[in-house]
Structure 1
């Protein structure tokens, strides 16, 4: 089965049918992808339908016919910087209009029902200024007022609940200007949770966080994901390795893959190998296989690569999301 476009794969939510889908990519050593049909119907919250975005001053498409479904739970949107993730997130958050296409929320067209959708939406953009002279209580009180919550007692209760949820109890008197990067991200989540939204849109939230803050933030997302949809964009595959079941990969404004994360990883199962070799081995493998990572240790190159036949001295290894992701993009850059 040949695709009309290289490297574009879709695993649609469907009733179990017992069939397997094999997709052969043109002009690629990647050979076959094997995609199982889903075993159950998932509750689709948001449908992205043929979204295209062309900025007025340029002819380049930031998004090109992007189509996929977003079910309940944490959904990972993965792509390199400049892939179109932020543009798509801004369109879903209704702060930017698409050039063409439609977004459906609970079966209703989003563009025609913005007010209704915004009541169900929490949004944390990639860069957020959170009024540095205020403390977290003052900031969240301002957010409540802007959202039309007039009752002071109700505001106080919502603020207390949000602060507890994101783990900022005891930090209420500290100005936001004195918060760490991780605390600021949590404050951003707190403001997004004020109206208990059904949908949270979070754009590149772990960028710049130290390892401890990053893990705390990811654990926070897993705690608040119950009974809501979280759309989480990142260029760091490790962020969503154990967090998301469903993913979409964007590359240059187009969908490379959308569907079940495990199915995506299984596409290279049994074809991923690791070799402790030389720079010459690396060069040869770059021509004969898809190299997913190279690390030089004590003068030797530790090379992970996808191939139908292993290079002499290689051993089969278990693939990760990063391996599958780099493979889908055509291999790691030099």
Structure 2
């Protein structure tokens, strides 16, 4: 059982932006969702754990590996799918995985070929192995990305915004693949898409302005909001007034009209209807109180 411990990790960029503000987390095997809006610090945390940048202070360990001081050791047991998974032009899926396996130290050619075939089968791309990766759809490229992240039996797999830009069918295929991968290792799924976490993760954290604002299970977070979320259709012209009178969690356009969700300890009356909270309500309640999302 692997354990990833992050303690008081902080990082301030030269422009003054505090990307990580005393981040502390402990993760075990399984799918862990890191949810937050763009700019929350998720990618900075992922890049730090992937040894691609340094923190100003704090510690991070994976079992007995000191991630910040032993980056070479960590890389041996790391699988990483960055937000932008670039591929070489005019190279096939088989060639790409074989090349990356060499870089990861798998020098025996027959062992490497066996591994590449196994991975291509696992991500359901074996029949496309001789096709140029450049011509793959977004979902297929992401599956190649997961295949390369699995080279070398990693203990920690980091996937950063993996489903952005995928159509619903590709997203579902990717979910199934990640769920299969995430049984025996620590998988951190960093995303701003609530559905990604709802579908896949039993543990999660919500990050905003470089801080962890929630850490626990999605179901516990939803339970906290039970009987406290109400909704109402309003006119656009009324949004500002409602924002000053109520604690608006979120608003979204439905049929051209704003549908607002508000947080309240008691029934706000005035035409509001109580609704069963969902993970989206949790997300917005943690990052967005008393502001209007237009």
The TM-score range, normalised by the shorter chain, is over 0.9
CA distance in 2, matches of 1:247, 1:308: 25
The structural deviation recorded for 1:276 is: 3.2
Is 1:140 the equivalent of 2:97? yes
CA distance in 2, matches of 1:142, 1:172: 14
Asked if the contact 1:290/1:330 (under 8 Å) is kept, the reply is no
Structure 1: stretches of 5+ with no match in the other structure? 1-42
Of 233, 244, 266, which residue of structure 1 is paired with 2:223? Answer: 266
Cα pair distance change 1:301/1:82, threshold 3 Å: closer
Is 1:65 the equivalent of 2:65? no
Asked if the contact 2:33/2:189 (under 8 Å) is kept, the reply is yes
The structural deviation recorded for 1:54 is: 2.0
Q: Superposition pairs for residues 17-166 of structure 1, below 5 Å?
A: 45-55=3-13, 57-166=14-123
Partner of 2:293: 333
Asked if the contact 1:49/1:68 (under 8 Å) is kept, the reply is yes
The structural deviation recorded for 1:296 is: 4.1
Cα pair distance change 1:333/1:160, threshold 3 Å: same
Is 1:202 the equivalent of 2:159? yes
CA distance in 2, matches of 1:308, 1:228: 40
Is 1:177 the equivalent of 2:134? yes
Asked if the contact 1:130/1:188 (under 8 Å) is kept, the reply is no
Partner of 1:4: none
Q: C-alpha root-mean-square deviation of aligned residues, in Å? A: 1.8
Asked if the contact 2:4/2:27 (under 8 Å) is kept, the reply is yes
Matched residue of 1:51: which SS? strand
Cα pair distance change 1:298/1:192, threshold 3 Å: closer
Cα pair distance change 1:119/1:282, threshold 3 Å: same
Structure 2: stretches of 5+ with no match in the other structure? none
Cα distance per residue 1:2-54 (max 9 Å; x no partner)? xxxxxxxxxxxxxxxxxxxxxxxxxxxxxxxxxxxxxxxxx661111101112
CA distance in 1, matches of 2:255, 2:185: 48
Of 280, 283, 287, which residue of structure 2 is paired with 1:322? Answer: 280
TM-score by structure 1 length? 0.82
Cα pair distance change 1:298/1:119, threshold 3 Å: closer
Cα distance per residue 1:87-142 (max 9 Å; x no partner)? 11011011111111000111442223333322211001111212121101111110
CA distance in 1, matches of 2:255, 2:155: 51
CA distance in 1, matches of 2:244, 2:174: 40
Of 143, 146, 169, which residue of structure 2 is paired with 1:186? Answer: 143
Asked if the contact 1:247/1:258 (under 8 Å) is kept, the reply is yes
The structural deviation recorded for 1:156 is: 0.6
CA distance in 2, matches of 1:159, 1:60: 42
CA distance in 2, matches of 1:261, 1:107: 29
Asked if the contact 2:251/2:293 (under 8 Å) is kept, the reply is no
Number of residue pairs the alignment of both structures matches: 291
